[in-house]
């Protein structure tokens, strides 16, 4: 646990509906002379996952169309200002404009978030195992704004083979006292870490994180572990 490596893989070129991301990941890793192994975490930005799943819709750039798309992807609109909406998506994520993205999309189109990003992560992991014989954990990321703090950061929207939350409750601290608040959102920290090597404009949707503690691996889900029911949330 004392050393991590985070490696950005090269761009896979244009991803379209039906593209097999497992093949693209393996090709990008080979080009980087990197052999993926179990115990690695493969980080994938949501954009290419969405494109491979056909979550691309026509978008004429008009305010009306944007409004309609955002409404269709959201449970509710939390705030509005100008063209910006803070939304609670159908997944329960709170983000800007329901995560709908027109940057790095073909002109005349917009990219929606995957319908079920945990399922997407499990699917990619299964494909890697079946076709390439390797089972890294998978984290699907997107870039979110935050309450209380300026700037955006990458977070996890789906995981497979990784605990989204590492629960250290009950472990003693250095003085033998039991720790209090120790449910660490490791999936979000991995997403943030990978974002440091994935500058948005550079078109590199894949990164590999190597060296994580084995305790972080296991069955996990962003929807079940990280999405917070409004009733229990004192921070909002």
- Count the site residues for a copy of itself by CB under 8 A: 75
- Cβ 174 to a copy of itself shortest distance, Å: 5
Report residue 37 as tokens. 């192994």
What is the distance between the alpha carbons of residues 44 and 25, in angstroms, rounded to a whole number?
A: 9
Q: What is the DSSP letter of 114?
A: P
- Cβ 153 to a copy of itself shortest distance, Å: 5
- Which of 1, 58, 63, 231 lies at the binding interface for a copy of itself (CB under 8 A)? 1
Pick between residue 7 and residue 56 the one whose CB is nearest to a copy of itself.
Answer: 7
- With beta carbons less than 8 A apart as the criterion, state whether 41 and 214 touch: no
Site for a copy of itself in 204-233 (CB under 8 A): 204, 211-213, 225-228, 233
- Cβ 40 to a copy of itself shortest distance, Å: 14
Site for a copy of itself in 136-165 (CB under 8 A): 143, 145-155, 164-165
- Which of 5, 68, 75, 131 lies at the binding interface for a copy of itself (CB under 8 A)? 5
Residues in the chain: 236
Pick between residue 36 and residue 123 the one whose CB is nearest to a copy of itself.
Answer: 36
> CA-CA distances (angstroms) from residue 210 to 38, 136, 164?
10, 10, 17
Among residues 155, 113, 139, which one has the least CA distance to residue 221? 139
Pick between residue 53 and residue 188 the one whose CB is nearest to a copy of itself.
Answer: 188
Site for a copy of itself in 49-108 (CB under 8 A): 78-79, 81, 84, 86, 93-94, 96, 103-107
- Cβ 109 to a copy of itself shortest distance, Å: 11
Pick between residue 113 and residue 123 the one whose CB is nearest to a copy of itself.
Answer: 113
Mark residues 162-201: x for contact with a copy of itself by CB under 8 A, - for none. --xx--x--xxxxx-x-xxxxxxxx-xxx-xx-xxx-xxx
- Containing 25, the helix (H) or strand (E) segment is helix 21-31
Return the SS3 of 11: coil
- Cβ 175 to a copy of itself shortest distance, Å: 7
What is the distance between the alpha carbons of residues 77 and 66, in angstroms, rounded to a whole number?
A: 13
Query: Does residue 39 touch a copy of itself according to CB under 8 A?
Result: no
**Do the bridges between strand 152-160 and strand 137-145 make them parallel or antiparallel, or are there none, so unpaired?**
antiparallel
What is the distance between the alpha carbons of residues 56 and 50, in angstroms, rounded to a whole number?
A: 7
Pick between residue 43 and residue 134 the one whose CB is nearest to a copy of itself.
Answer: 43
- With beta carbons less than 8 A apart as the criterion, state whether 127 and 33 touch: no
What is the chain's alpha carbon radius of gyration, rounded to the nearest angstrom? 18
């Amino acid at each position: 646990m004392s050393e991590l490596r985070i490696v950005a893989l090269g761009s896979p070129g244009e991803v379209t509906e039906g593209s097999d991301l497992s093949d693209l990941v393996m090709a990008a890793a080979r080009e980087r002379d990197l052999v993926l192994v179990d115990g690695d975490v493969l980080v994938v930005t949501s954009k290419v996952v969405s494109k491979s799943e056909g979550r691309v819709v026509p978008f004429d750039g008009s305010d009306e169309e944007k409004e309609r798309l955002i409404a269709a992807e959201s449970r509710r609109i939390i705030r509005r200002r100008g063209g910006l909406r803070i939304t609670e998506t159908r997944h329960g994520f709170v983000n800007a404009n329901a995560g709908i993205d027109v940057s790095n999309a073909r002109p005349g189109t917009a990219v929606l978030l995957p319908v079920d990003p945990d399922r997407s992560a499990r699917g990619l992991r299964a494909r890697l195992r079946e076709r390439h014989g390797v089972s890294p954990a998978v984290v699907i990321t997107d870039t979110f704004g935050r309450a209380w703090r300026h700037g955006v950061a990458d977070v996890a929207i789906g995981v497979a083979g990784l605990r989204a939350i590492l629960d250290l409750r009950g472990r003693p601290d250095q003085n033998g006292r039991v720790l209090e608040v120790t449910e660490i959102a490791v999936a979000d920290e991995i997403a943030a870490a990978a974002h440091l090597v994935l500058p948005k404009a550079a078109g590199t949707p894949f990164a590999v994180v190597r060296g994580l503690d084995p305790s972080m691996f296991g069955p996990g889900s962003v929807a079940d572990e990280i999405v917070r029911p409004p009733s229990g949330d004192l921070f909002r």
